[in-house]
Chain A
Amino acid sequence: MPAAAGSGDAARVREIVDRVYRDDSRRVLATLIRLFGDFDIAEEALHDAFVAALERWPMEGVPGNPRTWLVSAGRFKAIDQLRRRVAFDDRRAELERQIEELSHEEPVIAESGDITDDRLRLVFTCCHPALSPDAQVALTLHTIGGLTTEEIAHAFLVPSPTLAQRIVRAKGKIRDARIPYEIPEAADLPDRVDAVLATLYLIFNEGYSATFGEAVTRADLCGEAIRLARLVVELLPEPEAIGLLAMMLLHDSRRAARTNDAGELVILDEQDRSRWNRSQIREGQELTERALRTRRVGPYAIQAAIAAVHADASSAGETDWAQIVAFYDLLLNMNPSPVVELNRAAAIAMRDGPERGLDLINALLARGELTSYHLAHSARADLLRRLARNDAALAAYAAALELTTQEPERRYIERRIKSLQG
C-alpha cells in the first residue's frame, strides 16, 4: 500500500529515493540491460526512472515495491527514447520491431538469490573473457559497483578520459560482437566463474597493494571488491567464490595494522595484532571453514586458510608454521608458481630456522624466474639479517630497493638498510 505523503514529506521522500538508489539501482540497471540489450540505453533509462521517482513519489506516495516501479518507469522512458530515435535512424524497421516487442512483454523480475537474477548475468557479461582484464575491472566497478568513471580512474591512477574510453570500448564490444547477457551453461560455468573471481581479485589486490604511488592500501577498492565478492557468493555460492571472499576479509582485517601513525608500512611479523579487525576475522574464518568443508578446495580457499592460521596466532612466534607450510605444499601442488615457492620458503624459515629458508630462496633465485621480483630479494635480506650476515643482507636490501616502485615499501627497505648500517 502506498505510504501517504504530504507536502512536507519531500525531504523524507528524497531520503527514501537515495536509499533505494544505493540498495537497488544496480539491480534495476541489470534488469533494464536485459530488457534493452544495450548498456547505454539502460543507463539512461535508469537515470530517467529515478528522476521520475523524485517527481512523483512525493505526490503519489512511495510504491510498495520500488524496484518493480523503477523497472517499469525505466522501461517506458526507454521506449519513448527509442520511439523518438526511430525518426532519425536508418534501421527503422528493426527498431520498430524492438519497440513493439518491448511494449508487449511484461518484464520478469527475479527474486534475490534466484539463479536467474539479472545481476548474475551482468557479472558474467562484465567479466567475459572476450574483454581485456582492464576492461573487465573498469566495467565491473562501473556497472555493478556503481562507481563513477572519475572514481575508478582515481583509484587506478589513470587519467579519467582513458578510463572512460575503456568503458565505452567495452560496451561497444559487448554490443557489436554480441557478447550474450546470460548465465553460462553448466559446462562452461567453472571457467567463467574463475574469470569473474580473477577480476574481483585484481580489484582487491589493486586496493591492497597499490603498485605505484604513496598509499599502502586503497581501502575503497578493497571494500568494493569485498562487496562484489559478497554479491557473487550470494548469487552463486561456489567453493572458490566463498574462498576468495574469506581471503579478502582476512587480509583486509589487518588493514589498520599494516601502516603505523606515520603512514609507514608495517610487516606482518611486527603488526600490532590488537588492531586487527576481529569481526572480519570471524567472518573470514567461518567462510574458510565453509569452503574447506565442500571438499572442492581451490587456491583461493587455501590462501584463505593460510590467512586464517595467521589470524589465530597472537604473534609471529606463536603461529602454527607447520600448518602454514602444509597449506603452501597443497597450493604448490595445485598451482605451481615461483611466488608461492617463495612464500613457502619464508614459512619454512619460520618453522625450521632462517638457514633452511635461505637455501630455498637461493635455489629459487638461481633458477632465474624471480631475479627481478623485489620481494624475493627483501625476503632473502630479512633472513640474512636474522643470521647476522649484515654485509650480505645490505647487498640484498639494495637489490630489493632497486626493484621496488611502491613508495612505502621503498621507505621500509631504506629503514632496514639504515638500521643495519647504524
Chain B
Amino acid sequence: MIPRFFIKYKLEIIFVVFIVIFAAVFLINNANIQATAKPGQETWQGSDDQGSAAIEATGYTPWIQPIWTPPSTEVESLLFSIQSGLGAFVIGYFFGFYRGKRDSATPA
C-alpha cells in the first residue's frame, strides 16, 4: 500500500524530482563548460541571441533598430522581473480568491 501522502502529492513530487534532476544536470554540465571555456568566452547564452548571431553570420544587417533598448543587462533583468512579478501577482490573487471563497462556503 502506497502511503496517502504520495497519492495526494503525486504531481508535486514528480515536478520537484524533475527540477532536482534538471538542476543537477545543469551543475555538472556547467562545471564541464566552465573548465573548457576560453577566457572571456560567454557561456549559457540566450538562444534568441544565438539566432540573431547566426543571421548576422549570413552577412545580413538589421534594417531597423528597437525604439528603446534597456541601457544595461541590470535594467533588462529588472524589466523581466517586473513581467514575472505581474504574472505571479495575478495568479496568486485569483488562487487566493478561490481558496477564500471555498473556505467561507463550507463553514467549519
Does B associate with A? no
A residues lining the B interface (CB < 8 Å): none
B residues lining the A interface (CB < 8 Å): none
